[in-house]
Structure 1
Amino acid sequence: MTVAYTESAYPVPLKENGLIVEYKSGAHSHDIPQKTRDLEIAHMLELLKAKPTFNPNLKFDPKKHLVFKEEYYKTTTTATLEDLGITKTRTAPISGFAAAHPFPLISQEAVDMMLWEAFQPNVIENYARLPNSGLSKGTTRLDFHLGGHCRYIAPFTWDLYNSPEVSEIISNFVGVKLGPMFNSELGHMNVSLASLDPEEVKEIPQTKEDLLAKMEHLDKNKDDVPSSLGLHYDSGTIALVIMLDLGEGAVGGETGIVTGDDKMFRVPDPKIGYATLIQGIVLKHVATKPVSNSNRITGVTGYAAAPGSGKLDNCRNTSNKPSVLPRAIHTPYWSEWIEYRFKNLEAHLKQEREKVMERFAKGAEFDQLAMIDTIKEMEKYLHDSWKEMEAVHNPPYPPAEFNTPYQDLPDYE
């Protein structure tokens, strides 16, 4: 018996529901304006190229480009969900870890190379898009998302985020063996650029007093915080956020986290090459724009339970799928997602199969109830791999849970 889930193969997402109508054809209504490409992006590339030691063919070397030291595990301020007053979450957390304050991770040379790879004209054309108005707040032509390029045309960035050294650092903070997610969620960037247009600059607060007053207002009114993503939950388990550019004297630009008392906490003192970690799938948060005329560029990669860790990942598509996030190009995104989920399931199946035969070899009795639970978990994992696809799931965005206080969230499955 065939079950019909929808009236048509791909029901059209509605723009008035906060969704991207042309998500299957590249969301080109969200292309980066030519003015931004010719002015601010071209200027950034010229500045990088002008550095005396800059090498556009640089290869990633973890010994050279990772500056993390063992002592940072002790000196970095971290917080648990309990520390933040969060006792109820929208899905089961992977551990009690909530967030880590910025810690040194990569060198300036690595930062420059990641920016160089990302801001090439062909990358901007094919992999960068203005934000969805359903996600963003107070954005302009200078705010955009970029991603999905690393696997194909950004070898330095790809190697950095896939390095076992980075996965080990993150795993040690979180307390679970983690690995990077699929390409679309690896090395993507949230970009806010400083305007080089004199007329636009006149509209931005100039004095320190005015800038701080605006910040104070925003901290009291978290729903007004300007951002290309707005208040949201991640679809990936853990977000590694590396600051790649933050203009000198910038006011704002931190990662803001909503705490258990429904107030905004800004992760302090982001510096170039420093990384922040958050369990974004259960922490409501926002990547804030500077209120000053300043660059703010972060490199972000999603990490989740690694294949063979004994856990299946709990990733979702709510915020990241093409009908919501314009930079997520339909066929690459979904192909990479399914490859990711199937590979994880393959590793998990292999591990469970080996456990069964190990117990058999030892003469242990077969535990039917335990095996039923194991199979049900994998059955749910397969179901969760397709349940948010556009062919069957086009609800308005943002979902109600994004605006629901933690204590009012429904019990997760």
Structure 2
Amino acid sequence: MATSVISTAELKALVLDGNKHQMIADNDYFSQIKPLEDTLPAIDPSIKFDPAIHLAFKPEFLKTCKRTTMEELGASCPEQISDIGVSEPFPLFTDEAVEIMRAELLRKEVFDEFGRLSYNSTTGLGAMIRGYAKDAAPFTYTAWTHPITVSAVSAMAGVELEPIMDYEIASVNVAMKSPDAAANELVSSRRRSSLGNKFDDDVPAVVGWHNDSYPFVCVLMLSDTSKMIGGETLIKPPSGEIIPAKGPAKGKATVLQGRILNHLASIPIGFTERITAVTSYRAKNPLTFDGSVLSTVKPEVNYSTVYNTFYPQWVSYRMDIISKRALHIKETFDKSLEDKEVFDKEKAFTLLKDLEAYLHKTSTEMEVSEKEWAYHKSRLNMKPT
């Protein structure tokens, strides 16, 4: 089957099968990923996440860590759920916690079941591992979902958050490069000097320009960045001027209101591995605006999304919000009746239309356009038969 002649019907069948046509090849795993696993210290698989031992966050980071507001970025808008746009990197997990997370992640069985080639990497070997945490990485899952961790991320984001759904807990982006290539980069050039003090739209990227599908993300670095140069998250606000946000060091994280802010993960110079874990969030208050979309995550576009696991979770989370909003409407007008108030028809119309729009968005986001099918075809990495 040649990439150039694959039909949409054939592509749909591949998507339904879990995008296995984009699995990481065995030779890539054993030549590039397995050596990382082999260097890990001995990890006791029975270790449980303990925030007193494994969480590095401290409340004083709220004062010492710069958090850039949406206004400062020139990106304020009615849809934002917090005044905070992006934070500087802050310590989130300890070295021991990061090593345990790496040990859970780098196993061959995890890459085989959950790993897929990245759909929007612009350089080198790019892979994504998503939807694995709850079933295959119990320490990682507990670490991200622990109330103290969620509270820490919420504090940095300036709004009470909760993970959007299990599938989007600790989604991993992997970028690999050979040691020779990394060394040659360090010797030959520096991207910063080649670009001066500015970045342009064509800067090499681990993940290209995009808006996230969900309101907030927390990006955790799982690699040693001490020998890397660059690697900033670049933000392009409505003004068009590209603003760099410092990339985190190992164990550190940054929060970003990524649904609104167009951004890119620039690829650093001198790295052999760059592994990040990204957890996506929405406001905990079900009445807060939720602008989530599926443009970057639906399985028909993103190879790392498994059709039969992802879509049920999307529908479930949306129905949970709808249920809570519907209950709010019921209770609002129950109270109005009890208090013998004049019925506010305009208020009822507004609440019901908002609920209807949210339900409608839930289904329409699962639709797939011809443009999206064409994009998937254009990014295929299949061997001709």
TM-score normalised by length of structure 1: 0.82
CA distance in structure 1 between the partners assigned to 2:16 and 2:206 by the alignment: 22
Q: Residue 176 of structure 2 is aligned with which of 186, 189, 193?
A: 193
Q: Residue 235 of structure 1 is aligned with which of 213, 216, 228?
A: 213
Per-residue deviation at 1:155?
1.3
Indicate whether 1:298 and 2:276 are aligned: yes
1:158 aligns to what SS in structure 2? helix
- 8 Å CA contact retained: 1:240, 1:302: yes
Q: Which amino acid aligns with 2:343?
A: F
CA distance in structure 1 between the partners assigned to 2:197 and 2:10 by the alignment: 32
- 8 Å CA contact retained: 1:136, 1:227: yes
Q: Residue 358 of structure 1 is aligned with which of 319, 335, 345?
A: 335
- 8 Å CA contact retained: 2:186, 2:270: no
User: Could you report, residue by residue, the CA deviation over 1:126-170 in whole angstroms, capped at 9, with x for unpaired residues?
Assistant: 1111122xx2312x2x32111101121211111122122222223
What is the aligned partner in structure 1 of residue 63 from structure 2? 74
Q: Aligned runs of 1:275-286 on 2, under 5 Å? A: 275-286=253-264
Q: Residue 255 of structure 1 is aligned with which of 220, 233, 241?
A: 233
Aligned residues: 369
Q: Which amino acid aligns with 2:359?
A: L
> Could you tell which deviates more after superposition, 247-256 or 72-81?
247-256
Q: Aligned runs of 1:1-400 on 2, under 5 Å? A: 12=8, 22-48=14-40, 50-51=41-42, 54-87=43-76, 92-132=79-119, 135-138=120-123, 140=124, 142-195=125-178, 201=180, 203-204=181-182, 206=184, 208=186, 210-213=188-191, 216-217=194-195, 220=198, 222-306=200-284, 308-390=285-367, 392-396=368-372
User: Could you report, residue by residue, the CA deviation over 1:181-202 in whole angstroms, capped at 9, with x for unpaired residues?
Assistant: 1122111011112425xxxx2x
Q: Which amino acid aligns with 1:95?
A: S
Per-residue deviation at 1:256?
1.8
- 8 Å CA contact retained: 1:239, 1:302: yes
- 8 Å CA contact retained: 1:253, 1:296: no
Q: Which amino acid aligns with 2:95?
A: Q
User: Could you report, residue by residue, the CA deviation over 1:249-283 in whole angstroms, capped at 9, with x for unpaired residues?
Assistant: 11222222123432332222521111101100010
Q: Which amino acid aligns with 1:38?
A: F
Per-residue deviation at 1:205?
5.7
Per-residue deviation at 1:214?
6.2
CA distance change for structure 1 residues 104 and 213 in 2, over 3 Å: closer, same or farther? closer
Q: Which amino acid aligns with 1:360?
A: L
Identify unmatched segments of 5+ residues in structure 2.
1-6, 376-385
CA distance change for structure 1 residues 115 and 13 in 2, over 3 Å: closer, same or farther? farther
TM-score normalised by length of structure 2: 0.87
Q: Which amino acid aligns with 1:395?
A: K
The alignment-based identity, stated in percent, is 28
Identify unmatched segments of 5+ residues in structure 1.
1-10, 400-413
